[in-house]
Amino acid sequence: MKQVVITGASSGIGLATAKASLKAGYKVIATARKTEDLARLQQLGAEAVMLELSDEQSVNAAANTILHLTEGRIDALFNNAGYGLQVAMEDSTWQSLVEQHVTNVVGPIQLTNQLLPAMPKGSKLVFNSSILGMITIAFRGPYCMSKHALEAAADAYRLELENLGIAVHVIQPGPIEAQFRARTLATLKQTLGVKSPRLNYQNHLKRLNNPGTTPGTLPASAVAEVFIGIVEGKLRNSRTLVTRTAKTAAFFKRLLGHGFHKVARKAEPVNE
């Protein structure tokens, strides 16, 4: 039985991946932050572990628990947990930037480092990034920075772990059905506080408040299918784009190079 660890499994991509992994017959160790989410994961048949990536002690405790539950053998680690600070760069604060990068980059790296000794030859280290780990658009700067950094970390792991036989993969979703937008809006409001921003947030706020979905949005199961394909060895690419929107944006980024700035200035190609 394959043993997989999935972080951020309370909803969206993480929950869909946990369900798909259980269906595939894997032993699933899934993390979440809230008691009710942990209880739901247990009801599904997963081993649920509390993890707050912004807290070093929580990361250490979760790692120890995971190593115990897996008896020191992990076939795949899916670093999925994270959130989006989608605010203009000039409105970002010291604390908000620190929290974004600790949760999206530092926490996953430290968890990975503690679990790597339990990952044998043939295991898979998977990072859930975003098309925003490849492109940058307005009012997403801090989030884009964190995903660019996470992808750089994945590349470093790939180079360093190749001789050990551990494959490193990055998934780059575009618009996916999830609760991502609600937390993004809450984080934006908390960061701005009572401040009246100099830049015009009208279109950005309209998008975040819109209960509908962007054309081309796929269910979270689309990412779960990619993860299963990686674990089963059917998908071997180091990076996998998910959704037509992500593939189109990546194509024009490669085609236009620095000229992509003109496209990014006029469009909001993703609905993270």
Question: Could you tell me which of 227, 173, 266 has the C-alpha nearest to residue 22?
Answer: 227
Per the annotation, the verdict on 143 as an active-site residue is yes
The secondary structure of the chain in percent helix, strand, coil, rounded to multiples of 5, reads: 55, 15, 35
Residue ranges in 82-171 assigned as alpha helix (H): 94-101, 107-115, 141-161
Residue carrying structure tokens 């081309």:
216
Catalytic residue among 83, 143, 157, 201: 143
For the chain, how long is the longest CA-to-CA vector? 55
- Burial code (b: 16+ CB inside 10 Å, e: under 16) for 242-252 equals bbebbeebbeb
Please provide the DSSP assignment of 202-265 as one string: HHHHHHHH--S--TT-B-THHHHHHHHHHHTTS---SEEEESHHHHHHHHHHHHHGGGHHHHHH
Distant-in-sequence, close-in-space partners of 98: CB < 8 Å, separation ≥ 6: none
Question: Could you tell me which of 41, 24, 31, 85 has the C-alpha nearest to residue 62?
Answer: 31
Q: Answer left, alpha or beta for residue 216, where phi above 0 means left and psi between -120 and 50 means alpha.
A: left
Catalytic center residues: 143
